[in-house]
Structures are given as structure tokens and as C-alpha cells.
């Protein structure tokens, strides 16, 4: 690389956030048995352990459910901006190359999906084209488009139709048969049969669930906002004060949204209206709380040396976020599915397994980054991205 060519330096706080998000994802996936909702009978379990199970389940989903992946989505858009702008400064157009990069991500997602039905890389590879379509637009235009996506336009349309027309039924995708097929294989299938079902029924179920729960529009919006975070340099220390405004807005927004989501069922009996309203409100509530978490990490990293040193320990883990995300699904399926060890563990024990997976992965990351600039999957993705084609230089 020519040292005279300008390029963006790596932003360590982004790696901290990646590490934080992937850690949170592992903790959630572990108590879900990696989308295999099979748990032992707890009838004869002690009262204190039942209480602990409930605290762990409710606490983790309150803290990270719908928020960890939202941070991940923001960072995906941020990474696109860094790559795109580095190439712009060299006089290159990165858009076609990024399209190829998304094709590669789709293939990596298929590897992950073969083991874990709840993976999101395939969805990212499909939604990621929104970045190619919008990256040349003005900041104001992108904010408008992303904001419209964030408030769930399709759910708003179905809500209005439900209010106006008593005969209207909101359109949802029936995923019951898909989930039933994956559960059957997870419970009783061998490795080959489980992979086969995961790659078809599992993928359809996962993508359909994302559509029905507003994750498609939300993810597209967060991709674009992440791109703007990069464009406006919001992850740099000099712009830390802007996160104070974000934190204030997020705090003011979260509590009424969270309360409304829990109370609205007491006032609306029409299931059609209620389902769409709760989808909109819960989506916005999750984004608001995600921003509270993100601001907490930002202020901790930049404001206090002690907390900064502690959070900095997540940097190696965040730099290998794709490797860690994919391998946790492979390890989790091996531990909990029928073709593997088929562990039948309660929630608390499952969470200890998740912590164990993180510890092993973290130790590997600390050793790996001392000798390599990229994680194994990150390196392969980067090398394949820059395969020379006649149409992309």
C-alpha cells in the first residue's frame, strides 16, 4: 500500500462495540439452546434455581434481546462507509466490489445457517444492497429514508388498514411448518438431515420471522445510520458530546415506549390492530435501549481510564467478530442438537455454557491477534473480496 494514500485508521471503540454485541448474542443464544427450545423438566428443581433461571432469562432478554443485533447492524453500515471511503480516497468506486462482498457474505451465512437456524448473515447479505443504493445520497436524504424505515412503514400501513377496514387481515407469513421441521431434526435428526433442513426450512423460517417482526426495515435503517456515523465521524472522541444528545433522546423515548408496549393490550382488544401497534412500538423501544447501551460504552471508553482499559479488553474479540459469531453457532449446535451431544440443560447451566464458549473464544482471540491482523474468517472474506475481476479494479 502506498503510504501517501490517505485512509481511515481503525476505530478501536467500534471493535469494543462489536465485541460487546457478539458477547451479548452468545449469552442469549446459549439460553435458547441456539434456537432449539428443548429444556428439561424443572418441576423438581429447587425454588431458588427456578428463580435464578427466570432472572437470567428475563434479564438477558430485557438487556440484549433485539438490541445486540441492532448494534451489530449499525456497525455493519459503519464498516461499509470505512471501506467505501478508503477506496474513494484512492480514486476507486467500491460499490460493485461491495456487491461481490455481499455475495461472499451470503455464502458465509450459508455455512453458519447449516448449523444454526437463527443466523443473520444471510439477511445482512440481502439487505446490504441498500448501502450501495444510498451511499452517494446526501446526509439529509439518507436520514429521511432511514427514519421512514425505522418507524416500520409496512406495519403502519397494515395498522391503518386494520383501523379503517374491519374485514382487513394483516398479512403475515405462516412459519409454523418450517419451525416444526427444524425442531424435529434438532430433536431426532442426524447431522446430514439436520443440515439439509436448516438450509431450507430453517432459512425460510428465519427470514420470514425477521419480516413479520419488523427486522428487515429496522436492519436497513440501522445500516444507513451506521454509514452516517462513519461519514460524520461520530465514533471519534471529538464528537463524544453528540452522544450526550443521543443519550438524552434515547432515555426520554425508551421509558414511555417500553411502558406503552406493556400496557397497550389493556386498552385495545382488536388483535389485528394490537399486533401491528406492538410491532412498531417494541421496535422503536429496542432501538432506544440499544442507543442507551451504545452511549454507555462510548462514554465509558472515552471518559474514564479505568473503564476504558476494561472495555479495551474486548478489542481482540471484536476484531474477530465474524469468526466468533459463526463458530459460536457451530459449537452451540454441537452441544445441544441431537446429532451432537444433545445436552439437556436448564437455563442457568446453559448460560454457564455460553460463558464458557466466550472464555475459550476470547483466549483464542488474544493469541491470534498477536500474530495476525484479521481473524480467520475475516481474512478469507477480505482476500476473496479483492479477487481481481475485469469489471472491478
Structure confidence by residue, pLDDT tens digits, 37-46: 999 888 888 9
pLDDT of 45: 84
- Segment 7-21 mean pLDDT: 90
How do residues 127-162 score in pLDDT, each as one tens digit?
Answer: 999 999 999 999 999 999 999 999 999 999 999 999
pLDDT of 99: 96
Per-residue confidence band for 3, with pLDDT thresholds at 50, 70 and 90? very low
Residue 171 pLDDT greater than 80, yes or no: yes
62 in Cβ contact with 209 (< 8 Å) = no
pLDDT of 7: 66
- Segment 246-273 mean pLDDT: 95
- As a whole number of Å, the CA-based R_g of the chain is 21
How do residues 307-317 score in pLDDT, each as one tens digit?
Answer: 999 999 999 99
Per-residue confidence band for 304, with pLDDT thresholds at 50, 70 and 90? confident
Place of cell 446459549: 30
Residue 1 pLDDT greater than 50, yes or no: no
In whole angstroms, give the CA distance from residue 123 to residue 241: 33
Residue 6 pLDDT greater than 80, yes or no: no
How do residues 331-369 score in pLDDT, each as one tens digit?
Answer: 999 999 999 999 999 999 999 999 999 999 999 999 999
DSSP classification of residue 119: -
Mean pLDDT of the chain: 94
Q: Which of 90, 100, 132 is nearest to 381 (CA)?
A: 100
How do residues 103-113 score in pLDDT, each as one tens digit?
Answer: 999 999 999 99
Per-residue confidence band for 389, with pLDDT thresholds at 50, 70 and 90? low
Burial (CB count <10 Å: 0-12, 13-18, 19+), residue 369 = middle
In whole angstroms, give the CA distance from residue 191 to residue 319: 31
Q: Which of 151, 265, 260 is nearest to 214 (CA)?
A: 151
How do residues 260-285 score in pLDDT, each as one tens digit?
Answer: 999 998 999 999 999 999 999 999 99
Residue 87 pLDDT greater than 70, yes or no: yes
The model carries a pTM of: 0.94
Residue 101 pLDDT greater than 80, yes or no: yes
Q: How many CB atoms lie within 10 A of CB 159?
A: 20
In whole angstroms, give the CA distance from residue 117 to residue 178: 11
* Helix, coil or strand: residue 207: helix
pLDDT of 305: 87
pLDDT of 392: 46
- DSSP track, 281-310: HHHHHHHHHHHHHHHHHHHHHHH-HHHHHH
20 in Cβ contact with 56 (< 8 Å) = no
pLDDT higher at 390 or 255: 255
Domain-wise residue ranges, the chain: 12-40+54-244+297-385
321 in Cβ contact with 21 (< 8 Å) = yes
Amino acid at each position: 500500500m502506498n503510504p501517501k494514500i490517505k485512509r481511515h485508521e481503525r476505530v478501536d471503540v467500534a471493535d469494543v462495540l462489536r465485541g460487546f454485541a457478539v458477547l451479548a448474542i452468545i449469552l442469549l443464544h446459549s439460553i435458547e439452546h441456539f434456537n432449539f427450545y428443548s429444556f428439561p423438566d424443572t418441576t423438581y428443581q429447587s425454588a431458588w434455581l427456578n428463580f435464578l433461571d427466570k432472572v437470567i432469562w428475563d434479564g438477558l432478554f430485557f438487556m440484549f434481546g433485539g438490541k445486540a443485533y441492532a448494534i451489530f447492524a449499525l456497525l455493519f453500515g459503519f464498516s461499509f462507509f470505512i471501506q467505501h471511503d478508503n477506496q474513494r480516497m484512492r480514486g476507486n468506486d467500491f460499490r460493485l466490489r461491495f456487491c461481490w462482498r455481499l455475495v461472499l457474505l451470503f455464502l458465509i451465512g450459508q455455512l453458519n445457517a447449516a448449523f444454526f437456524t437463527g443466523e443473520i448473515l444471510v439477511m445482512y447479505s440481502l439487505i446490504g444492497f441498500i448501502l450501495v443504493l444510498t451511499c452517494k445520497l446526501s446526509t439529509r436524504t439518507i436520514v429521511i429514508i432511514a427514519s421512514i424505515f425505522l418507524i416500520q412503514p409496512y406495519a403502519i400501513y397494515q395498522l391503518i388498514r386494520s383501523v379503517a377496514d374491519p374485514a382487513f387481515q394483516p398479512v403475515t407469513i405462516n412459519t409454523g411448518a418450517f419451525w416444526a421441521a427444524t425442531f424435529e431434526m434438532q430433536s431426532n435428526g442426524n447431522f446430514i438431515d439436520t443440515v439439509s433442513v436448516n438450509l431450507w426450512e430453517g432459512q425460510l423460517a428465519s427470514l420470514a420471522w425477521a419480516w413479520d417482526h419488523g427486522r428487515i426495515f429496522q436492519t436497513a435503517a440501522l445500516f444507513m445510520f451506521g454509514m452516517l456515523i462513519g461519514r460524520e465521524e461520530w465514533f471519534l472522541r471529538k464528537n463524544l458530546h453528540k452522544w450526550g444528545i443521543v443519550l438524552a433522546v434515547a432515555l426520554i423515548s425508551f421509558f414511555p415506549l417500553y411502558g406503552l408496549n406493556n400496557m397497550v393490550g389493556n386498552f385495545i382488544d382488536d388483535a389485528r390492530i394490537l399486533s401491528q401497534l406492538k410491532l412498531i412500538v417494541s421496535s422503536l423501544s429496542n432501538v432506544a435501549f440499544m442507543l442507551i447501551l451504545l452511549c454507555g460504552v462510548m462514554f465509558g471508553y472515552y471518559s474514564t481510564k479505568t473503564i476504558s482499559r476494561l472495555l479495551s479488553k474486548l478489542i481482540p474479540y471484536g476484531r474477530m467478530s465474524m469468526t466468533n459469531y459463526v463458530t459460536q453457532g457451530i459449537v452451540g449446535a454441537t452441544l445441544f442438537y441431537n446429532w451432537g451431544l444433545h445436552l439437556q440443560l436448564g437455563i442457568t447451566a446453559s448460560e454457564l455454557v455460553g460463558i464458557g464458549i466466550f472464555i475459550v473464544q476470547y483466549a483464542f482471540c488474544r493469541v491470534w491477534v498477536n500474530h495476525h491482523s484479521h481473524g480467520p474468517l475475516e481474512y478469507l472474506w477480505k482476500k476473496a473480496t479483492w479477487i481481481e475481476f475485469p469489471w472491478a479494479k
